[in-house]
Structure 1
Amino acid sequence: MNHKEPFFCSCIGCHTRILSIFKNLTPEEIENIDANKKCQLFKKGEYLYKENSYPTGHYCISSGKVKLSTLGENGREHILKIVGEGDITGENAIFSKHPHHHSAIAIEDTMTCFVPKEAFMKSLRNSPAMTMDVLEALSKNIETAERKQQDFAQKNVKERLADTLLSFKNSYGENDEHFLNIKFSREEIADFIGTSTETVIRLLSEWNSASIITLNKKQIRINSVDKLTLISQPK
């Protein structure tokens, strides 16, 4: 893990707290988290934590994006999920008391708040509202994992790629030029949907030629949501 110099941040004035599991804490409970957390900036490509390491707390994403991934026996990366502003990561290992089953890697410069396990568990014990928010977040994680597993079983590569681009648009939005607010390399997209980089390059090029999308290096703009939605449906 890379330990970065802390930057100033406050839970009390944090604009992303209302998106997180800490949104319903009382002022006193917020002060407990605020007094114990450590703010860190991770540069693109740096690890928040590594697979098989033991957790000492979890991370709240203040800004930026992080990929959660595992390495297969052949050394190939498999991207499980992308987390962003308002999300937390590392909490599963805290509850299971097992090592992290994935690595967390910044895919762009990412500001985080690290909350030690003890402070997190104290808040859980004292706040029924936060407990419910954590259960809701864990349930959402399970639903996301089950949906992805279902997509792998029911959809072919072209359908999964179209569905992924649409989900990126819904989750992260677009910039002023209407390109997706997430920059993934072709290899990372392939690792996310479980196919080869060559297949991703070919499909994106086909859709670019058909004006369904527009490509600009790592940037992707969706020109026709309707056509991508049609492609994403299982045949």
Structure 2
Amino acid sequence: MQSALSLFHLQGRTAVVTGGGVGLGLGMARGLAQAGANLVLISQRPLQEDVKAELASYNVNVHTLQADLSVLGDLAKIAEQSVALAGGKVDILINNAGIIRRTPAADHPLEDWHDVLRLNLDAAFYLCQQFGKHMIANGYGKIINIASMLSYQGGINVPGYTASKHGIAGITKALANEWASKGVNVNAIAPGYMATDNTSALRQDEQRSGEILGRIPAHRWGTPEDLAGAAIYLSSSASDYVNGHVLCVDGGWMNR
């Protein structure tokens, strides 16, 4: 039987993290690197050299791939390139890349709806499919999709984002049903209200920010680092019997 701490070690594993160069993706990537995982970070923007150097300082290999994941026709090639950068085997996929568009539902542009669904849901599913085939062939894998509090709630002025995050919860459960017996764990993390670029408009709105903080028992906005522990857990052997779960990391928001 493994020791308790060794259950969480990721030495010898390689993780692909989409949107891994900034925000929540970077927070999770840091945690995985500290636990020993090699990284392939997919980002639309080039990874800053100081960030890459920091991640490499944990004595892991760090590869980067600049790509626009909203171009769905490129995803098979992107997955193939990621596997090649990983040395032929990807053990962990974190589907983190996403966008949000805020407009009241009555005026929500159809273009915004399609842009959000294309990246947040379509690309996430297709990457699950591509890396899932690879993991099934190897008999092992961990897929972590990034859900949201809006996987449970309706939100305000974000109909496309809400639809996409409800969808993420659904495909997480659907894929877990099919792949758990094949050695592939599919789960999700639902972050609460996090201090990232996606929430800058909310944090700058004094009234809305006050309403949000008033509901969070921890009484603070979350940080990207708050997701590191959950990401390590769901990427490691500690979660080998966890399938189709959506883990809230929300400061207690859902308790209220």
The answer to which structure has the higher strand fraction is: 1
What TM-score does the superposition give when structure 1 sets the normalisation length? 0.24
- Structure exhibiting the larger radius of gyration computed from Cα positions: 1
Asked which structure has the greater RCO (Cα within 8 Å, sep 6+), the reply is 2
